[in-house]
Structure 1
Amino acid sequence: MKPSTLRRTPLFLALLALSPALWAQEDPRHTEATDLDAIVVRANPLARTAEDLTRPVDVLAGEQLDAAKANSLGETVNKLPGVQSSYFGPGVGRPIIRGFDGARVQVLSDGLGSGDVSTVSVDHAVSIEPFLANQIEVLKGPATLLYGSGAIGGAVNVIDGRIPEAVTAQPLEGRAELRAGSVNDERTGMVRLDGTAEAGSGNVVFHFDALHRETGDYDIPGYAENAAAHGDEEHEDEDDHEEHEEELGAFGVLPNSAIRTDAAGLGVSWVGDRGFVGVGYSLFNSRYGVPGHSHAHEDGHAGEEEDHHEHDHEEEGHGEEAVRIVMDQRRTELRGGLDDLGAFESLRVKLANTQYTHTEFEGDEVGTVFDNDSTEARVELVHQPLAGWNGALGVQWSQRDFLAIGEEAFVPGSNSRDAGVFWIGDRTFGPLTAELGARHDRNRMDIADGAIGPDRDFDTTSLSGALRWDLNPDLHLSLGLDRAQRSPTAEELFSNGFHVATGSVELGTPDLGVETANRAELGLHWHSGPLRLSASVYHARFNDYVYLADTGIDDGGPVRLWTQDDATFNGAEAEADWTFAENATGTWAVRVFGDVVRGDLDGNGTREVAIAVPHGDHSHDYTAELSRSGNLPRIVPSRVGGELRWASGAWRASLGAVRYARQVDVAAFETETPGYTLVDAHLAWHVDTAGGNAWEVFLDGSNLLDEEARPHTSFLKDLAPLPGRGVAFGVRAFF
């Protein structure tokens, strides 16, 4: 069904009703061009900017964030060097950092875990709305020192300011946005309000935000299914649609790709001279289809579907019904801070409880229900310089009660408890800055009755050292060395059944051990006047790397096994940004970037494993030969991209393109993926009103070449391409 129109959406009506009062405010703050290197990175307890930190960090804020915002967090950060997005339809996009994704990349809401189940399955969305973010920080390389074993590949920290920590510049300020899109009939609206009122010796500061988004099934350049995967030539002519629809599925529109998302948050804080204390409550509700699970006849209208064939596994009760997901999250947070504590500079306390429910529908039937009740607490204590070292002590604790109910529940319920303690610090020695850190975690996982395997306990220890050499004020070199450890997750240990999302049988290995990564990275950063250059190369050697291997067995679907072996990751990334002209025609700048990563198994020969595929009260037994060498599965392809930017007075515009290379370095039983080029363009007109408010009208174009693009990292790459050519337009208001 197509989404309701703008005028029928309650949030849009509320925005229109609020607008007269909002525009009446004076001296507003609005989004401006920002020096991203000068922004304080909140993911680090020590107040450091991206320029000051030795370890690679990218930050999106201001106009750069406005231009990058997309339906998913992964798509929002997708153009940063070394960062790509997973893809399981437009409702799901998790960040991939330097080839690592899933349980190796921690997604954070201002320093606390998101509380969702996006690491359990590739079709599960992240419960953070990027359109409501003030700032997004991407920590590249192991972030285990700060955030535990789930950040062995990096972390993405989203700052939304839902619990205020400082007074606002004006009694009331905020922003709002309305947008519409052509490729999927998108309608999105959001509003954010922040205000301050005096309260005795301090101030009461409040925050409110809300967002509503609806999209229909999105347009695609040709057929949903990949002709090359069938051994056929591509058929771009719509006239022979009927001849090939049974084999290649839908044409022109991808069935079951619609989304509806609602998000809102309310926070109140008391802010004094030395600190603050605040509480917040937020909700996130999303309903989205999982494409690629049904063939459909399309006449250009979403929802008019006709099944053409059934899944091979239907004889076991796994029909080829359209899969839809309804997820609902409610989150309560308490945060506080206190400064100037004598021997300590500051204390920060964060506590969050998240109630998460996720229901997967197969047609009209409930397939699986996931419940996740998590509580996380974090204390950060920054101490005064000690023997010349600035540093911070931290304690982090979390508990998660996870339950999966239904015939398709391939992961058993579990109760997990994690506790970690860490210290990080830095010290300057003339032109050299050294960073050190250490962390130890204790993790216990209790599995529900009836699950395969015993309860497990893990201890992980991570150590880190880095050195930055300032050759001059504009140029510095950096060297980082890390030893990071990660404990296996419940899905890696105890999966045991048919996974509807991927159409495969997924089996865990209960005796998996701790994964250990030893990494070295060399980086360069030069920032002088209008030119900025950065580059890095890195090498990571993993002992007992955990990955999902295709066994080559088919039992109603491919049989995949979580296993581990030694592996090596090598990669490089570079970026250059040059403002090459400032004259009567405006300011002209160009940005180019590129990244490459390889992931290989380090062993020799093969090893034999016994496979037992469950079928009710019995199993089918197999023996598989797994290679101990070769490429790891679903490694991101190399990329090169560029962007030309222009600004003059109230106008700004950009034209960019990213070329994704053909991925030929594939694992056993994995197919190659063709390369593709995505071209985009942006145009905005910004005007400041006499009353001190500001308006901005924008027009964005995506995939302007209407190219068929299939991300190699996606399990759906042969069933669901990325959206075709699209145009989004709308208005932003700042007050």
Structure 2
Amino acid sequence: MPPAPTRLALALAISVALPAAAVAATPPPGAAPAAAPDSAAPSSPAPDPANANVQDDRHVKDLDSVVVTASPLPDTAENLIRPVEVLAGARLDEAKSNSLGDTVNKLPGVQSSYFGPGVGRPIIRGFDGARVQVLSDGLGSGDVSTVSVDHAVTIEPFLADQIEVLKGPSTLLYGSGAIGGAVNVVDGRVPQAATDQPLQGRAELRAGSVNDETTGMARLDGTSASGNLVFHFDALHRETGDYDIPGYAESAAHMAEEGEAPDPATRGTLGNSALRTDSGALGITWVGDRGFLGVGYSLFNTRYGVPGHEHAHGEEDGHEHEDEHEHDGEEAHAEEGGVRIVMDQRRGELRGGLDDLGPFASLRVKLAHTDYTHTEYEGEEVGTVFENESTEGRVELVHQPWGGWDGAFGLQWAQRDFGAVGDEAFVPDSQSRDTGLFWIGRRQFDALRLELGTRYDRNGIDVVDAGADAARPDRDFDTTSVSAALRWDVANDFHLSFGLDRAQRSPTAEELYSSGLHVATGSVELGDSRLDAETANRAELGVHWHQGPLTLGASLYHVRYADFIYLADTGVEEHDGPLRVWTQDDARFNGAEASMDWNFADNDSGLWNLRLFGDLVRAKLSGSGTRQLDVSVPHGDHAHDYSVELARGGNLPRIAPWRLGGELRWERGPLRASLGAVRYAEQDRVAEFEQPTPGYTLVDAHLAWHADTAHDNAWEVFLDGSNLLDREARAHTSFLKDVAPLPGRGVSAGVRVFF
């Protein structure tokens, strides 16, 4: 971590920049007015939220009215047929966390994986990893967070304007990696329209008690006097120490199983959980009467500890050929410093658009190139280095109404060169390429709205330097997805929706070719190069009622999977850890969600709002009996062969438990406050060889004082509390649940400035 003067310099730089920027935001006499925001298409006149005035969404009370941009046919969340959740404005400010998964964790149907405070990936309706696509303004994040559960997402939630969560298959828009849903982070790093003011922005400074957090961020957006040149700049710096926990890192059940006694010296703190993150971006765009062309460059650097893990090479049978002295040295380093990860990503983007193209309403082109490096340290020694170079392009062509249908064609392509060097590089070097072509359209029939779509993808994975290795053949897959959704407006304030999808996903390189010790999960993982594409057939029924101050929503869904790919525990011990194999079988997902938002009072005492939500998902293999699987575990110049028996029925592993949550909000003048709680049930519907997880309740509170100043500037002071009851909480979705609980009671305070 940098010395205190470095952190102080950052805080001072932001503090000094704010007053100057606020003054500059006032247009000089005679200055030309800013150009009007550019719309995505004539049929979709809503402004682009990535370029909206930063003050306008500070107190969003009805998030259903926010425009969702993840589709080439943008619309408000309430008008979209497909289920979607949006975070923006004050609610986003209160939800922001160190990871994207933790930020969206309280949305109905959405939870988070957990691998320490630096790693949290969204889980949508029980689907995670390679089934949930994480996007930055419609393009993939370019990281390797799906390769391993200890790899972080390279998107910073604190810099987001809004976050859109598409629930249900989003393969039509984003390919097979979105078969379970997609999370789109709108940050406007490449502007697409002129700003409302010549110069505008926001900044924030905060400090936290549970982990000694210090965070500072600043953002500036501006437009030239001519209205043609628009720029964007943002920067963030965050540092935390090891975080506080209510008791011991290891659960009582885990210590009893291992025959261990708690060490009083370790009580109250989770070792090796410190975090440091730096992020920044610069973008510039030329905006004309009919379109725009912009470029941007961004960086993301983070370093974090992996709690509860130490590399103990000296105990591994597969390294007898290594020098014993080297083993001793590595063990000493691991014991001294544990496992740390340093991640660095550099990303360049090009985006452009044209409107009014005769038979076409608009054309949008997006291109991103990403260089990613991930280094895993064992103490002070370099263990494994992951490198990923990716290029992704996307073209969206919105056509004028054809026979009453609004629609858009799309072409998406991506290429990834992945490599890993080190003793624990359990996934071989590979080259992946994906090409997809899609169409999505919608039409209004009086009180009925119909949406149809189809997509075809060609995916290929080539193993680098595989030679004549028959266990690692190159693979190519063809996948097709089709979708139909119907909305019936029974009344102005009441509508029903029904959706049917058939979506396919091709296997990933780690599912096909993993072979060796995966230290992050403490297990040996074996892929299967014979895996086929999986197919999901989904049906969903939704209801939405909105009358006056009360909004109610609910949905029921069923997903029937053929050849579902999952990581199965075999019950065999290898390298002092479980042997897990990637395999596939048929599976069923059933779930339900419900929410209520009620402004039950608006009088002299203030505006009072009550929000309630609940969700549950049940995920099981749908077969019966057992099946035999022959596996071979490499051990240097030989192998251990096993014939394992896998159940064809039963629960799938690490499925999120059901939840009930509520929040009471109050606003009066410059003050707003909230008190909320979420009950996570005990998860006892577990897979074979998986242990149940006790339930827990997390209570949080927020308080803010907002003040508007001259020239549309504003600032607010805030105080946030999390896990106020200081409960021991262990996420069932986490591989670390028995050695790394969630943080204990914490209080954060700071100041935000908008100008």
TM-score (norm 1): 0.94
Q: Give the one of 583, 590, 595 matched to 2:603.
A: 583
Please list, as runs of the form range in 1=range in 2, the aligned pairs for 1:430-441 lying within 5 A after superposition: 430-441=446-457
Taking the aligned partners of 1:186 and 1:507, their CA distance within structure 2 comes to: 39
Q: What pairs up with 1:413-424 in 2 under 5 angstroms? A: 413-424=429-440
Aligned to 2:39: none
Q: CA deviation at 1:365?
A: 1.4
The equivalent position to 2:58 in structure 1, one of 28, 32, 44, is: 32
User: What CA distance in whole angstroms lies between the structure 2 residues aligned with 1:250 and 1:618?
Assistant: 41
Secondary structure of the structure 2 residue equivalent to 1:509: coil
* SS across alignment from 1:66: helix
Within-5 A mapping of 1:450-489: 450=466, 452-489=471-508
Deviation of the 1:607 alpha carbon:
0.6
State the partner residue of 2:191.
Answer: 164
The amino acid across from 2:22 in the alignment is W
- Partners of 1:312 and 1:433 lie apart in 2 by 62
What residue number does 1:18 align with?
Answer: 17
1:208 maps to which of 233, 257, 265: 233
Alpha-carbon shift at residue 260 of structure 1 (Å): 0.4
- 1:4 Cα deviation after fit: 4.7
The answer as to 2:174 corresponding to 1:155 is no
How far apart, CA to CA, are the structure 2 residues paired with 1:654 and 1:514? Answer: 46
Aligned to 1:516: 535
Q: Distance in 2 between matches of 1:724 and 1:126?
A: 23
The answer (yes or no) to whether the contact 2:207–2:214 under 8 Å persists in 1 is yes
Task: State the shift of 1:232 in Å.
Answer: 7.9
Q: Matched residues in 2 for 1:99 and 1:411: separation?
A: 25
What amino acid maps onto 1:575 in structure 2? S
Secondary structure at the aligned position of 1:43 is classed as coil
Q: What's the counterpart of residue 689 of structure 1?
A: 709
1:605-684 alignment runs, 5 A limit: 605-684=625-704
Deviation by residue 1:326-357 (Cα, 9 ceiling, x = unmatched): 00000000000111111000000000000000
Q: Distance in 2 between matches of 1:183 and 1:96?
A: 25
Match of 1:238 in 2: none
Distance 2:387 2:566 in 1: 25
Deviation for aligned residue 1:26: 3.2
- The correspondence of residues 113-512 of structure 1 with structure 2, limited to 5 A, is 113-199=140-226, 203-231=228-256, 244-246=261-263, 250-294=266-310, 313=316, 316=319, 319=331, 321=335, 322-450=338-466, 452-512=471-531
Mapped partners of 2:364, 2:288: distance in 1 = 15
CA contact (8 A) 1:6 1:12 kept: no
How far apart, in 2, do the equivalents of 1:484 and 1:414 lie? 25
Structure 1 residues 61, 264: CA separation in 2 closer, same or farther (over 3 Å shift)? Answer: same
What's the CA shift for 1:19? 2.4
**Partner residue of 1:301?**
none
Query: Hey, what's the Cα distance between the residues in 2 that align with 1:683 and 1:286?
Result: 29
- Cα distance in structure 1, aligned partners of 2:215 and 2:698: 23
Q: Read off the aligned partner of 1:471 and give its amino acid letter.
A: V
Aligned equivalents of 1:250, 1:652: Cα separation in 2: 38
Identity of aligned residues (%): 70
- In structure 2, how many angstroms separate the alpha carbons of the residues matched to 1:311 and 1:682? 49
Q: Assess if the C-alpha contact under 8 Å between 1:184 and 1:217 holds in 2.
A: yes
Aligned to 2:555: 536
CA 1:665 to 1:530, structure 2 compared with 1: closer, same or farther past 3 Å?
same
374-383 or 445-454: bigger deviation: 445-454
What does 1:546-585 correspond to in 2, within 5 Å?
546-556=565-575, 557-585=577-605
2: CA distance between counterparts of 1:527 and 1:192?
36
d(CA) in 2 for partners of 1:4, 1:721: 29
Residue type at the aligned position of 1:15 = I
For residue 313 of structure 1, report the CA deviation from its aligned partner.
3.8
Map of 1:80 onto structure 2: 107
CA separation in 1, counterparts of 2:11 and 2:193?
Answer: 29
Partner Cα distance (2:152, 2:316) in 1: 25
8 Å contact 2:198–2:225 — kept in the other structure? no
Q: Structure 1's 409 and 39: CA in aligned 2 closer, same or farther, altered over 3 A?
A: same
1:204-234 deviation digits (Å, cap 9, x = unpaired):
0000000000000000000000012233899
Correspondence list, 1:31-70, <5 A: 31-34=57-60, 35-70=62-97
User: How far did residue 314 of structure 1 move?
Assistant: 7.9
CA distance in 2, matches of 1:47, 1:577: 24
Calculate the TM-score normalised by the size of structure 2: 0.92
CA distance, structure 2, for counterparts of residue 23 and residue 544 of structure 1: 57
User: 1:198 deviation in Å?
Assistant: 3.5
Distance across 1 between alignment mates of 2:65 and 2:712 = 26
The amino acid that maps onto 1:679 is V
C-alpha distance in 1, partners of 2:313/2:377?
Answer: 17
Letter in 1 for 2:113: S
Moved more, 20-29 or 498-507: 20-29
Question: Counterparts of 1:91 and 1:9 in 2: how far apart (Å)?
Answer: 23
Q: 1:714 maps to what in 2? A: 734
Q: Which runs of 5+ in 1 are unaligned?
A: 235-242, 295-306
Superposed displacement of residue 527, structure 1: 1.2
- Retained in 1: the 8 A contact 2:631–2:644? yes
- Deviation at residue 261 of structure 1 after TM alignment: 0.2
Are the structure 2 counterparts of residues 367 and 566 from structure 1 closer, same or farther at C-alpha, using a change threshold of 3 Å? same
Cα distance change, pair 63–342 in 1 and its aligned pair in 2 (3 A):
same
User: Are 1:168 and 1:194, in contact at CA under 8 Å, matched by a contact in 2?
Assistant: yes
Secondary structure, aligned partner of 1:292: coil
Q: Name structure 2 gaps, 5 residues minimum.
A: 28-52, 320-326
Write the distance in 2 (CA, Å) between the matches of 1:626 and 1:221: 38
Q: Distance in 1 between matches of 2:17 and 2:350?
A: 29
The residue type equivalent to 1:600 in the other structure is K
Change (3 A) 1:224 1:314: farther
Q: Which amino acid aligns with 2:20?
A: A
Provide the C-alpha distance between the structure 1 equivalents of 2:11 and 2:285, rounded to a whole number of angstroms: 28
CA distance in 2, matches of 1:588, 1:572: 27
Tell me how far 1:244 sits from its aligned partner: 3.4
DSSP-derived class of the 1:19 partner: helix
Residue 249 and residue 714 in structure 1: after superposition, are their counterparts in 2 closer, same or farther (change >3 A)?
Answer: farther
CA RMSD of aligned residues (A): 1.8
What is the identity, as a one-letter code, of the residue corresponding to 2:109? G
Match of 2:621 in 1: 601
Moved more, 140-149 or 619-628: 619-628
Structure 1 contact 267–278 (Cα < 8 Å) conserved? yes
Q: Are residues 443 and 7 of structure 1, via their aligned partners in 2, closer, same or farther at CA, if it must alter by over 3 Å? A: closer
Distance (Å, rounded) in 1 between the aligned partners of 2:599 and 2:723: 25
Q: Which residue of 1 aligns with 2:49?
A: none
Name the amino acid aligned to 1:170. Answer: Q
**What amino acid is the match of 1:561?**
V
In structure 2, how many angstroms separate the alpha carbons of the residues matched to 1:699 and 1:4? 26
| SS at 1:90 equivalent | coil
Deviates most, 29-38 or 172-181: 29-38
Alpha-carbon distance in 1 for matches of 2:708, 2:537:
52
Instruction: Give the match's secondary structure for 2:427.
Output: coil
